[in-house]
Structure formats: structure tokens, C-alpha cells
Amino acid sequence: MASHDLATPDGASAVFRIRLTPGPPIRLAIAEEAEPEREYSLPTLDQGAFLDLFEALARDLGLRRPQARETPPAGNGPPLTPILTAPVSPKILYGYGDPCVVRVARDDYRLLVTSNDAPDAFPILASPNLVDWRLSGFVFPQGAAPGWALTGREVSDFWAPELHRLDAQWLVCFTARLADRSLAVGLARGGSPDGPFVPDPEPIVTGGVIDPHILIDAAGAPWLVWKRDDNGVWPRVLGALLHRRPALAKALFVGDRDRRTAALTLTLWPWIAGLEPMAQFFALQLLIEAASADLAAFELRLADVMALARTDERALMGQALDALRTRIYAQRLSADARRLQGEPTVILQNDLPWEGHLIEGVWISHDDGRYYLLYAGNDFSTAHYGIGAAVADGPTGPYRKSSEVFLASAGAWWGPGHPSVALAPDGRRHIFLHAFRAGEVGYKAFRALLAAPIRFNRGRVSLEG
């Protein structure tokens, strides 16, 4: 196939020339100014292939090293118990990401998990005791996905399902992609926790949204909670801006390695811009990590640049600046969960250093007159991912966060995230979460299901021994 020649536009703090030959494998010949070319290969557009490429570029060209290849700080960590550490069926392709554990009756539990682009969407596992599990089916077996949802390997994304009982029906909320590649939240209904589930004809929230959660408040009213996926917006806007105005790399980034990372990314932008959403995220990951290493300082630099920008660029910079904060919304559902009522309220956003550039994966429990909110923060595909906690007196807050991460990588398990809470057979509440095996983090890497007893008491959240 014919190769494409890419060159850094004038004004960048580093200058590269790149010859990209389509594949697979994709071949890249990269040189800095008058230096000789170095040859690299990208065998697939999976995250692991990008990480291998980025490690080589960090070594050879002085770029930032990817966080997914770093070891987290040593620590003993909390007493997490592994529940599922291997697939119970060959149809479960990626493990137990974004786990929703629900007690559907005495001695009867269900687990729903993310399935990414697997042909059968959202595995449903059943257990009498949280120890012995069997696959009881799928929310959407192959061919039964919602008509509005994009399907197919490497293009579809079925994420973060939850199962809840609402009166006489069982309700599943979930994330999937529309044909335009944007993310949307949908609902499906069934007469039993094992389905069959019939999806609503249209998504209930659109516009780049993920990680739905259903909360039943103290009065028995249902609420829909979701995250606006703005952390998927600003990297694309920033990549386009940097390609358009290469001098921004020096103004926005501090340190030679991050400026070089930005320069190489803006050089590759014409190719990156045409990738599918997840492949584009992988290609922009180093730029994301360079910006979010000190998000508050980057935010100030971007605001300063925007104040002096030309009118035609100010809107794009403002879009990127606004999207640096991930917002979690809550909105009342009608009693039958067919429509939203009133207006959405922002209940949480990222503003703590450990959270990095995003928060997501909310689960809210009502206890002792308070609402206890657990959430995930930072990059889900690295060991920097963790779980935070917040508490409020009402479903829409204001929520008071704990200043430090509640659960972080430790020992054999890295990147704990996307919690749910259910009553275990011993009568205690347990938190359920996913985590990678140490050193094996990444998109589509296997995620195990882990648990620990959790206590909500007078506005405090703690793990029990």
C-alpha cells in the first residue's frame, strides 16, 4: 500500500517527519529533523500495540513513558477478596469489568458486566452464595441488541450494565454507541433477572454519555445518574488545535518530554483524526497523560492562551477547557422509568489530584438518612485508577468527598474501579469491584471481580476487617 508522508507544521517545539505505511501491520518511519529514520511497527490498533510503540518512542525520541507501563507505589492495600478470577464461560471474553452485583432474592445473586465488542452483550451470572457462579445468559444475545446500537467487532462498545428491580419489572441500564460513534444510555426491561430483556426503542440519554446508575431514593422515587463523557472530547479538540497551531505545544506543556510528546502527536493528527473512537483514545493517550499530570496547572495555561487567542480559535479552546472537568449528573425518572423529569443536576466532578482528568462509575447507597456515593477516578486502563467516596443528605447533594482515594492499586490487584454494593449472605454490605492482575492493565485486559465488607456510618465509609 502507498505510504503517507507527515511533517510537523511550522512553529512546534520539536520537528518530526513521518512516513506511515498502512497495514496491518502499520509501519512508521520516524525521524527528527536531519536525524536518520527509525523504523517502528504497529501490528494492530489495540491498546497493547500502541503502548509498545509508545515505550519505544519514549526510549528513542525522549517522549513521555505511558502510565500503563508504570508500577504503582508499593502498599499493603485493603483486604480485598477475589471472587471471580477466570472466565466461567468461553463467551465471556474480557472478564468482569464494571461489575453490578445484585441480591435478587434470599440466596440468589446476579452479576452483570461490561462486554465491550463481544458478540453476546452483557453476561448475566447467577450465584446462590457469591462463591459458586454460572452463566445464566446475556442481556442481549447475538442478534438481539437494540436497533439503535452499533454492533460489530472493533467498533461497538457495550459498557457498564446495571440491573435493578422497579415494581414488577427488572430494569437494565447500559451504555452503547450510536451509528455516529457517540455514546448513549439505554434501558431494557424484563420479567425476571435473567430476561429476556426488551430494549426501549430509543436511548434515554444521548450526546456522549456513559456509566448509568439507577438510584431509588428514600421516598421510593427512581433517579438516573450518568457521566458526561467529556474526557473523550477534549483530547480530540486539543489534538486538532495543536495541529492547527503547533506553537501551542510550548505554551501548554512544561518540560521537554511533554512538549516532544505534543509535537509528535500533532504531527500524527491527520492520521489519528480518522481512527475509530477507542483506537483514537489509544493514539492520544500520551497527550492525555501529559495534560493531566497536573490538570489544574494545565487548565490555567489553557485559560491564559484562550484569553489571547483569535476569535475563530477561542470557541474550540473554550470547549476543551470546559471538557477538562468530568461531570456526573442525576435526574428524576418517571415512576415507570420511561422518561426523565425535570432538569439534570451536576452532583460531582473531578477536582482532586488523584482523580486525574476524569471520574465515572458511580454507585449510590441510601443508609441512615444519608446517600453514600462511591465512584472511580483517573484512567481506567492504568494502575492509577481508584475508587473514591462521598456523602450527602439528599440524592442530588451537595456531596462531600473524602480528600484521599478510598481504594487504590496494591499487591496483586491494580486499578480497582467501578464499584457496586450488595448485601452478602453474612448480612453485611459488601463492595464489589473490578481490578487487573498486577502488571496486566489495559483495555480488554482481563479484569477480576473482588469484594470486601463495607460500612456506612454517620457519614463515613470504611472497609471492615
Q: Verify that 140 and 16 share a domain, yes or no.
A: no
How many percent of the chain have pLDDT more than 90? 92
Point out the domain boundary residue: 266, 290, 323.
323
Average pLDDT, whole number, for the chain? 95
pLDDT band, very low/low/confident/very high, at 154 (cuts 50, 70, 90): confident
What is the structure's pLDDT at 75? 62
Alpha-carbon distance of 453 to 200, in angstroms, equals 35
What is the structure's pLDDT at 78? 64
Q: Verify that 137 and 101 share a domain, yes or no.
A: yes
Alpha-carbon distance of 61 to 131, in angstroms, equals 49
DSSP three-state, residue 381: coil
CATH number, domain with residue 452 = 2.115.10.20
Strand 327-333's sheet: what is its strand order? 209-216, 222-228, 327-333, 340-349
Contacts of 274 (CB under 8 A, 6+ apart): none
193 in Cβ contact with 181 (< 8 Å): no
In a domain, 75, yes or no: no
In a domain, 76, yes or no: no
In a domain, 240, yes or no: yes
Q: For 24-49, how does the pLDDT look when each residue is reduced to its tens digit (9 = 90+)?
A: 999 999 999 888 999 999 999 999 99
pLDDT band, very low/low/confident/very high, at 411 (cuts 50, 70, 90): confident
Contacts of 312 (CB under 8 A, 6+ apart): none
Least confident of 81-85, 253-257, 312-316: 312-316
DSSP three-state, residue 189: strand
In a domain, 157, yes or no: yes
In a domain, 139, yes or no: yes
In a domain, 336, yes or no: yes
Q: 248: closest CA among 275, 276, 269, 272?
A: 269
Q: Verify that 437 and 373 share a domain, yes or no.
A: yes
Q: Is the pTM of this model over 0.85?
A: yes
pLDDT band, very low/low/confident/very high, at 73 (cuts 50, 70, 90): confident
Q: Verify that 191 and 51 share a domain, yes or no.
A: no
Q: Verify that 93 and 213 share a domain, yes or no.
A: yes
What is the structure's pLDDT at 76? 62
Q: Verify that 297 and 402 share a domain, yes or no.
A: no
Q: Verify that 112 and 51 share a domain, yes or no.
A: no
Q: Verify that 93 and 40 share a domain, yes or no.
A: no
Q: Verify that 352 and 450 share a domain, yes or no.
A: yes
DSSP annotation of 315: H
Can you give the residue range of the structural domain that contains 455?
81-229+326-463
In a domain, 101, yes or no: yes
Checking if the pLDDT of 1 tops 80, the result is no
Alpha-carbon distance of 418 to 409, in angstroms, equals 13
Point out the domain boundary residue: 281, 304, 323.
323
Alpha-carbon distance of 133 to 440, in angstroms, equals 24
Q: For 326-342, how does the pLDDT look when each residue is reduced to its tens digit (9 = 90+)?
A: 999 999 999 999 999 99
Q: Verify that 203 and 333 share a domain, yes or no.
A: yes
Q: Verify that 331 and 290 share a domain, yes or no.
A: no
- Average pLDDT estimate for 120-139: 98
Q: Verify that 214 and 244 share a domain, yes or no.
A: no
- The residue assigned the cell 479484569 is 447
Point out the domain boundary residue: 289, 323, 357.
323
Residue 99 Cα to chain centre, angstroms: 13
Give the C-alpha distances (Å, rounded to integers) separating 221 from 245, 349, 404: 50, 24, 31
Residue 455 burial class via C-beta count within 10 angstroms: exposed 0-12, middle 13-18, buried 19 and up: middle
What is the structure's pLDDT at 465? 65
Domain total in the chain: 2
In a domain, 439, yes or no: yes
DSSP three-state, residue 287: helix
Contacts of 303 (CB under 8 A, 6+ apart): 321
- Average pLDDT estimate for 436-446: 93
